[in-house]
Structure 1
Amino acid sequence: MAPGTAPQLLALSLLVLWTSPAPALGGANDAEDCCLSVTQRPIPLNIVRSFRYLLITDGCQVPAVVFTTLRGFQLCAPPNKPWVSRIIRRLERISTKGK
């Protein structure tokens, strides 16, 4: 690399980052928080600890329910499947018992 090239490369990189479009204001999720796909296979009830919704209105292209397992893994599931509703009902029932 020629002397003086590194500062120019750094300046160009910073300019590109600085002029990149900012995320939409009010968006709850970045693309990193969204599911790219969902599993169609049922997730066992006994490994799920919690859940959250990721919807199109949140800025995600794939609507999903994200289940967090007891080991901390996050699994994306389709919100319209009966097995997903059963897990959510169970988790809600457990959380109301604890209060």
Structure 2
Amino acid sequence: MASRVAPLLALSLLALWTSCALGGANDAEDCCLSVTQRPIPGNLVRAFRYLLLKDGCRVPAVVFTTLKGYQLCAPPDQPWVDRIIRRLQKISAKSKSHRS
């Protein structure tokens, strides 16, 4: 498994982070410089958030946080991204219903 994760993380250098240099409503927000087109294995992801043009970012992205804490930028319009988000939402809904 580790041998498969290493190349993925190496390719994820495309997901470099920087502070947004654009002015706007969210000056302190981190923005993605680019997104990876290569699918990220969903079982490595524990959380997500959106960074959109309206947030002051030049590149719209879904930012996935991996189990090891890496931040990976993905294109929001890809089917594999939607699948990971749906999976995370389903897991979140199940954990909330078990707490009640």
Regarding TM over 0.5, the answer is yes
Q: What's the counterpart of residue 79 of structure 1?
A: 76
1:63 to 54, 57, 60: 60
TM-score (ref. length: structure 1)? 0.71
TM-score, with length taken from structure 2: 0.70
RMSD (Å) for aligned C-alpha atoms: 1.3
The gaps in structure 1 that reach 5 residues or longer are 1-22
List 4+ stretches of structure 1 deviating above 4 A.
Answer: none
Larger Rg, first or second structure (1 or 2): 1
Q: Aligned pair in 2 of structure 1 residues 28, 85: CA closer, same or farther (>3 Å)? A: same
Q: Percent identity?
A: 70
State the shift of 1:29 in Å. 4.6
Say how many residue pairs are matched.
Answer: 74
Following the alignment from structure 1 to structure 2, what is the Cα–Cα distance between the partners of residues 36 and 48?
A: 20
**CA deviation after TM superposition for structure 1 residue 30, in Å:** 2.8
2 CA distance for matches of 1:28 and 1:50? 21
**Structure 2 stretches lacking a partner, 5+ long:** 1-22
Aligned partner of 1:43 in structure 2 is 40
Alpha carbons 1:30, 1:59 under 8 Å: kept:
no
Structure that is richer in strand per residue: 2
